[in-house]
Chains A and B, each alone.
Chain A
């Protein structure tokens, strides 16, 4: 049985359908990143799992418990917010202690004066303090325990928020863009830390981000969401190399994947400019398709070589690589090529060249955006068009 299963969750605000039936399963200890452009519903899904918002329909089961109708406090989930949401009037130590105090002390024991007179209260408080200090030490924030959130930097607040979420060992861990308020250097560092913490805690985690690099680098599996639909849930390599939907292919990868809209000829082949591509299997003649290929699977050869004639428009030198922006002569489509700097020598804007795709890396998507089966990839051998 999976550690978390979300079944057919829908949510709409009036006419606005935010989630259109999301289903998702997470294994024990799995780190799943929910990624997508803003407004795709990923944060709403997270809030529904947390119990902060109600779903219109659907089920959420975690660790064998049906959470769907439980309030947030009873779900045993912890969440790290984008704004960290630390209590501004409490010190870091008190912030981390809150979830423990709410669970381990009775409401009488929590009362300010009367509570301290009740039996057993002292032992529990000592135990809470010990757990808070242990947690703080493991996150290296034990020197900050007496500071208030207003006196801490963004990175420190983020660690306190993590500590508060982890200290009570929740059954499910939710994070809503916890790194987006950090500066770029700190963010890369914090990525590694969160992954480490996740390994140690072994709690299934849903991690919402709009940053595809964050999703690919941190998660065991990535769920790509677009306008209320879950388009693909797979390992990062699969999402990148084998996207199931044209929107997934476009969302993931930098620079963006090259796409050319085309139509299947009467004999089942596809014409790209002066070149015809022959698929292994027949495509439906006359149907609209999109051919896509990532920039690193294109190379640039001299004019006259077998490939697609193009002109270089612009070059971007990025240190370890060079991005070449070109325009295909025959159909006027833009093509972006990523080259190693050594392969880009002698290339200048305006130069006519030939773009050579690696045929087995071409992907074909149907008119509905879905990937056409993998055995429909094209032969490497490109043949010259008639006449």
Chain B
């Protein structure tokens, strides 16, 4: 370890750093632009560090022109509801399919696989018509309901539960637990790596989703962060990219923070090595 950098190690590190830089570049540029004044953004020269810092002004504009608090709160409500409902529905489903024997198990498995293949875009029109006739457009229900059953969650938990030893569940049954008790007391406490991994997938996808909110929400009061950005750009900011980038920064920050906090568990969950007895 203390050895000097060998050529191979140096090469690997360079390659990885280069890759990281390419992926981080837009984000870095966003941070940089969020601190620039209007005139500096439109100069032909490209500088990473703003010549004059306009961070305060830009953030003030971002907070002032749209109700950023409302946007973030909507994002939290929608993503939270979607995630909680998805988990509540997917865990018992996945448990039943992984560990219980019943006639339609194979059929259900096929349906889950089929469900994975259908994108939201294919069903958005009938869903829109349905929400419209139920007078539910512009509501949290319209934002949350279509995603409440996640076949991806069922699939992910299914794989995880299959790896759990059958004897553990047998022991729980002999100890007097009902099937629901087994899910609550044995499965969930041991499924945290999978739940964390799924949380990242779900929250990132729905926090950043623009497609569905754009379809069902036209009222700013229910706008999720990306949709809010769109309103912000269209109505208020025009070409004020400094303020726009500041707003974007505010919106992406919670996700970045959450990922950094849950990073270890996330990787654990993805590699599915969380359960060792």
Contact = CB atoms under 8 A, between A and B. Distances in A.
Interface of A: 47, 50-52, 71-73, 75, 77-79, 81-83, 85-89, 98-99, 102-103, 149-150, 164
A79 B166 CA distance: 14
B175 interface: yes
Given A72-B173, A78-B174, A102-B176, A88 B167 contact: no
Contact of B170 (A79, A88, A149): A79
Contact of B186 (A71, A82, A87, A149): A87
B275 interface: yes
B183 to A, nearest CB: 13
Contacts of A73: 173-178
Given A52-B173, A99-B175, A102-B176, A87 B167 contact: no
A74 B246 CA distance: 62
Nearest to A103: B176
A85 B165 contact: yes
Closest 9 CB pairs of A and B: A102-B176, A85-B167, A85-B171, A89-B189, A99-B175, A72-B173, A81-B167, A73-B176, A52-B170
Nearest to B173: A72
Nearest to B176: A102
A205 to B, nearest CB: 15
Contacts of B177: 73, 102
Nearest to B191: A89
Contacts of A85: 165, 167-168, 170-171
A87 B189 CA distance: 9
Contacts of A72: 170, 173-174
Contacts of A50: 170, 174
Nearest to A72: B173
A282 to B, nearest CB: 54
Interface core residue of B165, B276, B277 (most chain A CB under 10 Å): B277
Given A150-B276, A150-B277, A87 B168 contact: yes
A86 B173 CA distance: 13
A50 B173 CA distance: 10
Contacts of B165: 83, 85
Contacts of B172: 87, 98
A99 B173 CA distance: 10
A157 to B, nearest CB: 8
Given A149-B277, A150-B277, A99 B176 contact: yes
Contacts of B186: 87
23 contacts: A47-B170, A50-B170, A50-B174, A71-B173, A72-B174, A73-B173, A73-B175, A73-B178, A77-B174, A78-B174, A79-B174, A81-B170, A83-B277, A85-B165, A85-B167, A86-B171, A87-B168, A87-B171, A89-B190, A99-B176, A102-B177, A150-B276, A164-B175
Contacts of A149: 277
B3 to A, nearest CB: 34
Interface string B143-175: 000000000000000000000010110111111
A81 B160 CA distance: 22
A51 B170 CA distance: 9
Interface in B93-116: none
A86 B174 contact: no
Interface string B178-215: 10010001100110000000000000000000000000
A2 B189 CA distance: 41
Interface core residue of B168, B170, B175, B186 (most chain A CB under 10 Å): B175
B172 to A, nearest CB: 8
Contacts of B190: 87-89
Contacts of B174: 50-52, 72-73, 75, 77-79, 99
Contacts of B171: 79, 81, 85-87, 164
A37 B168 CA distance: 25
Contacts of A79: 170-171, 174
A322 to B, nearest CB: 43
Interface core residue of B165, B174, B189 (most chain A CB under 10 Å): B174
A72 B168 CA distance: 14
Contacts of B181: 102
A114 to B, nearest CB: 14
A103 B177 CA distance: 9
A214 B165 CA distance: 26
B244 to A, nearest CB: 46
Contacts of A81: 167, 170-171
Contacts of A82: 167
Nearest to B274: A88
B6 to A, nearest CB: 36
Nearest to A81: B167
Interface string B248-273: 00000000000000000000000000
Contacts of A89: 189-190
